Amino acid sequence: MARRRQSVTIKHVAADAGVSLQTVSRVINNEPNVRPAMKERVQESIDKLGYVPSIAAQRMSGSRSYIIMAINDRDLTIADWRAREGRDWIDQMLLGGMLTCAEHGYRMLIELVDTHNDHVERELGAAIAALQPDGIILTPPHSENPLITGLLAERGIPFARIGSKQGGLGIAMTMGDTHNARLATEHLIQLGHTRIGFIAGPEEFSLSNWRVDGWKSALEAAGLSAEGLCERGDFGFASGSIAAEKLLRTDDAPSAIIASSDQMALATLEVARGRGLQIPRDLSIVSFDNSPIVRFTQPPLTAIDQPIAETTSRAVELLIENASGKRPAEPISVPGKLIVRASTGKAPSANLSEPRTRSA
Amino acid sequence: MARRRQSVTIKHVAADAGVSLQTVSRVINNEPNVRPAMKERVQESIDKLGYVPSIAAQRMSGSRSYIIMAINDRDLTIADWRAREGRDWIDQMLLGGMLTCAEHGYRMLIELVDTHNDHVERELGAAIAALQPDGIILTPPHSENPLITGLLAERGIPFARIGSKQGGLGIAMTMGDTHNARLATEHLIQLGHTRIGFIAGPEEFSLSNWRVDGWKSALEAAGLSAEGLCERGDFGFASGSIAAEKLLRTDDAPSAIIASSDQMALATLEVARGRGLQIPRDLSIVSFDNSPIVRFTQPPLTAIDQPIAETTSRAVELLIENASGKRPAEPISVPGKLIVRASTGKAPSANLSEPRTRSA
């Protein structure tokens, strides 16, 4: 008996009548501001499909916007779009977010906000006032900006914070950074590498340090040292060059480097080539992000694939559930995968138990 | 005396008060449903900034959504996102569209619609009902779908049709396809090529044929033949392989090929390599689109850069102007540019006046 009820939802009615969910809910709730013709049209679809309004549908009394807003860093995003180097963070957010939104009758809108702006609260306040989103997805570095999280909490808007483990306001979500860095490091250890360098991201991003933690813990578990093997960049190419130079110019240089971003990995590739190193014969490289660019380098780069689409999809689901009062256990972790390509190979030194000496 | 009026707009007031444009306009128009505290807050900003409401601002009586909807093909877009090959059509639309929207206090939202769906009118009707966009940007193949353009005209929503020259409903816009194909062909003629092949896109897209026209007209102007030198693909890689094989396996094969999409150009590159041809020594290749991928091939591809960001930006401006009654002369053409890279070089035959014979 419950079959019909469960299968036909307000969404089917809206699609059949060619109207919005809000309009259907206004008709169901018998609200005054609905034209008789519209009411008749919706009622026809309700009758035709045999729709029985649920409590949830009755609660949709036009007060929802059915919009989820995904807030990204303005400068970084525009720089990526202008550079046209194929970085597809926004596309992957749209892929996961839009499709999951659509399943629930919602829409996702990308909003760009400058986290360093003195007027960030005002800017965000205006965006919220204009669109009245039912949920907001924050991405780094917004995810841990207390001006932003404070404002959202004050306005009572459910939000998810991607790249944050901090408890408290909103839903904390990570893409398994510690786990991912451990995966990358273990892959290199299995290939016989004993000196594995790491190029970390900026301190401002918590995930930078979680990745360092993952790298260190895998080294420790294998009895290997991290001493002098970590440099820090800002995710950009230039900072990656400087970091790779520092790591590679020492007498006891690493035989493998993990870079915390694709741009820093590309820079490492270039620096290594400039020093006459062959990849992966003399140096193995693992990248982080797995944006399209790393498939087109020579050789293509082994990379940690960031599950951006899955994480955004999960965030949308959590926000929609949250709106009906469900609160998830936190933080939510959506782990990434290691994609092995041609930039990683066996360690140059055959004898794994002895300290490695570079063969020039 | 006009200086102050011109410089302070409703947008400054909204930003200063941290509220939406709609709220400011409700206060200005003295509408009933505004809380006294909100009214006071907006009035304070108006007084502080010395804002004088314009007629335009007074017309913004809350009936606008300040949303521009950019409608893209569902299957093609999702396939691009899943493939992760760096195609950045949506990003470039966002770059041009979002930033121009933001300048005018609008927002852009991407909507995916299946143009082949029997329910396309219903699907689009539901999206319009939900979001009440003030303007819509159609992209191919939606731009010339009469079910879609008819529906928009009926609802009185201003819309732009990118990739369409058809008169009538909406604002027709092109990215200078005929001009662009002519540019590419002239570049090859200047390099001494006399047999220049063309891989066209599917007939379903009008722009496919405009590009063929541009190629043909440049050949004619130079007294060269197009006979047997045009094959048709569907913009995808597989179709490009078949077309390139057909062009290259003849006795009198072209010494240069223009492909109407990056994927078909990549396929041409692969087919040429498979036949032992060196690029550009034995075959020059020009691509269309200039998405990030063509910078990472060996050699990088000479390509026509599609001005997606500029065209979308222009579409947003036209739609906003259109809302206040201005109607542009059509069709609007935003021409592309030729980006010369290493895939094009001098024609193999030194003597340009004689028919070229392939040097195996």
pLDDT in tens, B137-165: 999 989 989 999 999 998 889 999 999 88
Q: At what angle do helices A89-103 and A308-323 cross, to 10 degrees?
A: 40
SS3 A140: coil
Does the residue B356 lie in any domain?
A: no
> To which residue do tokens 């970084």 refer?
A76
- Residue A53's pLDDT band (boundaries 50, 70, 90)? low
Percent above pLDDT 90 for chain A: 61
- Per-residue pLDDT at B195: 97
Whether pLDDT at A117 is above 90: no
Are A123 and A56 in contact by the 8 Å Cβ rule? The answer is: no
Closest CA to B73 of B146, B140, B121, B160: B140
The answer on B90 and B145 residing in a single domain is yes
One domain, residues A297 and A315: no
Closest CA to B172 of B125, B138, B211, B210: B138
Query: Inter-chain contact B78–A95, Cβ cutoff 8 Å?
Result: yes
Residues A182 and A301 in one domain: yes
Distance between first and last Cα of chain B: 77
Collapsed DSSP state (helix, strand, coil) of residue B257: strand
Among the partner-chain residues B18, B85, B102, the one whose CB lies closest to the CB of A122 is: B18
Q: Which of A90, A8, A93 is nearest to A309 (CA)?
A: A93
Confidence of residue A105 (pLDDT cuts 50, 70, 90): confident
Measure A349 CA to nearest chain B CA, in Å.
32
- As a whole number, mean pLDDT of residues A292-296 equals 89
- Residue B343 is assigned to a structural domain of this protein: no
Rounded to whole angstroms, the Cα distance separating B238 from A9 reads: 41
Task: State yes or no: pLDDT of A152 exceeds 90.
Answer: yes
Q: Tell me, what's the pLDDT at A355?
A: 45
Tell me which of A195 and B323 has the higher pLDDT: A195
- Tens digits of per-residue pLDDT, B108-128? 999 999 877 778 888 898 888
Q: Which of B81, B123, B130 sits opposite A22 (nearest CB)?
A: B130
Q: Are A340 and A279 in contact (CB under 8 A)?
A: no
Res. B310: pLDDT tops 50: yes
A198: helix, strand or coil: strand
Model confidence at B357: pLDDT above 60? no
Q: Checking DSSP bridges between strand A337-339 and strand A302-305, what pairing results, if any?
A: antiparallel
Q: Choose the closest CB to A107 out of B20, B80, B131.
A: B131
Indicate whether B296 pLDDT > 90. no
Q: What percent of chain B has pLDDT over 90?
A: 61
The token pair at A126 is: 């205006």
Per-residue confidence at A271, pLDDT binned at 50, 70, 90? very high
* Cβ atoms of B179 and B214 closer than 8 Å: yes
Q: Using CA coordinates, name the residue in chain B closest to A109.
A: B109
The angle at the Cα of A349, spanning A344 to A354, to the nearest 5 degrees, equals 130
Residue A52 sits in the same domain as residue A90? no
Q: Are residues A192 and A102 in the same domain?
A: no
pLDDT band (50, 70, 90) for residue A32: low
| Domain annotation covers residue A217 | yes
Asked if residue A238 has pLDDT above 60, the reply is yes
Does B85 sit within 8 Å of A295, measured CB to CB? yes
What are the residue ranges of helices labelled H in chain A?
2-7, 10-17, 21-28, 36-49, 55-59, 74-83, 89-103, 120-131, 146-155, 177-190, 206-221, 237-248, 262-274, 308-323
Report the C-alpha gap between A292 and A281 in whole angstroms.
Answer: 24
Give the residue from A9, A20, A270 with the most B CB atoms within 10 Å of its CB, the best one to mutate: A20
Please say if the pLDDT value at position B281 is more than 90: yes
Instruction: List CB contacts (< 8 A) between B88 and chain A.
Output: 81, 84, 86, 88, 91
Same domain membership, residue B233 and residue B160: no
Residue A208 confidence class, pLDDT cut points 50, 70, 90: very high
Read off the pLDDT band of B63 (50, 70, 90).
low
- Predicted local distance difference test score (pLDDT) of residue B32: 66
Angle at the Cα of B92 from the Cα atoms of B86 and B95, rounded to 5 degrees? 130
Q: Do A78 and B91 touch (CB under 8 A)?
A: no
Handedness of CA B292, B144, B66, A152 (dihedral sign): negative
Residue A150 in domain? yes
All residues at 6 or more sequence positions from B180 whose CB lies less than 8 Å from its CB, including other chains: B211, B214, B288, B304, B306, B335, B336, B338
List the structure tokens of A278. Answer: 């062959």
Chain B residue closest to A87 (CA)? B86
In whole numbers, what is the pLDDT of chain B averaged over residues?
87
Residue A98 pLDDT exceeds 50: yes
* Averaged confidence pLDDT in chain A: 87
Position with higher pLDDT, B48 vs A288: A288
- On whether the CB atoms of residues B269 and B301 are closer than 8 A, the answer is yes
Option in B21, B112, B298 nearest A130 (CB): B21
* Shared domain check, B140 and B71: yes
pLDDT band at A35 (very low <50, low <70, confident <90, very high): confident
Report whether pLDDT(A107) > 90: yes
Q: How far apart, in Å, are the Cα atoms of B66 and each of A139, B57, B312?
A: 25, 13, 16
- Pair (B314, B255) in one structural domain: no
The mean pLDDT of B52-66, rounded to a whole number, is: 54
Same domain, yes or no: A198 and A221: yes
> Are residues B110 and B156 located together in one domain of the fold?
yes
> For residue B125, which residues of chain A lie inside 8 Å, CB to CB?
18-19
What CATH number does residue A44 fall under? 1.10.260.40
Nearest CA in chain B to A91: B81
Instruction: Report the pLDDT value the prediction gives residue A58, as an integer from 0 to 100.
Output: 37
A358 within a domain of the structure (yes/no): no
Chain A: nearest CA to B67, how far in angstroms? 9
Residue B144's CATH number:
3.40.50.2300
Residues A30 and A150 in one domain: no
**pLDDT for res A335:** 95
The stretch B62-74 carries a mean pLDDT of: 86
Q: Which residue has the tokens 């949308």?
A: A316
- Cβ A178 vs Cβ A198: under 8 Å: no
Does B348 fall in a domain? no
Helix and strand totals (H; E) in chain A:
14, 12
* Residues B8-33 pLDDT 10s: 778 888 888 888 888 887 787 666 67
Distances (CA, A) of A257 to A59, A189, A196, A297, B240: 54, 12, 6, 16, 38
Hey, are the CB atoms on A91 and B92 less than 8 Å from each other? no
Please indicate, yes or no, if residue A92 is contained in any of the structural domains: yes
Are B44 and B130 in the same domain?
A: no
Task: Flag the least confident range among A177-186, A341-350, B247-256.
Answer: A341-350
Q: Is pLDDT above 70 for A30?
A: no
Domain that holds residue B124: 67-175+307-335
- Into how many domains does chain A fold? 3
- pLDDT for position A56: 39
Q: What is the mean pLDDT of residues B244-260?
A: 96
For residue B43, being part of any structural domain is answered with: yes
What ipTM goes with this model? 0.78
Q: Which amino acid does the sequence have at B342?
A: A
* Average of per-residue pLDDT across B321-330: 75
CA distances from A88 to A292, A311, B79, B91, B232 (A): 7, 14, 14, 8, 30
User: Is the pLDDT at A5 greater than 50, yes or no?
Assistant: no
